[in-house]
Amino acid sequence: MSASNRWLAIVGAGIALAVIAGIAVTSFAQGERLYAEGSPERTVQDYLHAVSDRDASKATSYLAPELATRCEQTPRDGITNRSTTSMRATLDRTTYRGDRQAEVQVRLTESYNDSPFSGGNSTYTQVFVLTQVSAGWRFSESPWPLYCPPANTNAR
């Protein structure tokens, strides 16, 4: 092999390695961002993972104690019977209300059906209200898609 052919092979190998490295970096950069452990954003993220996995037990473990008690008898159909939708969530903002309250605003996009031509999607904004308790940040209001009726304030 002549010196010019060796030089060409080395340059070609270098370009190939650069392309492969670029593809690898791009692939890893598009992964999901994990929010800080113990933050309200991470609680919402973990909850939405449980909803996506249709795991009602795990999803309801993120409820504040008072809400969990109120929701004990509530059906979990909104979590367990989610059909063939896929979900993408994007954090819009977090607003703190004092030291122990936070509102996490998320943009949710649900895609229906696996077929590229017969499916559809919808995007909407959801605000999750959390309170910091001894176990960490927990939902203090019914989080989508779980609905728990309000406490009966007319009890005698």
pLDDT at 30: 56
Does residue 150 register a pLDDT over 50?
A: yes
Does residue 27 register a pLDDT over 50?
A: no
Model confidence pLDDT, tens digit, residues 63-72? 999 999 998 8
pLDDT tier, 143 (very low <50, low <70, confident <90, very high otherwise): very high
In angstroms, the CA 45 to CA 143 distance is 12
Least Cα distance to 63 among 44, 41, 49, 81 occurs for: 44
Does residue 104 register a pLDDT over 60?
A: yes
Average pLDDT over residues 72-88: 79
Q: ∠ at Cα 90 (84, 122), nearest 5°?
A: 45
Average pLDDT over residues 149-154: 70
pLDDT at 84: 63
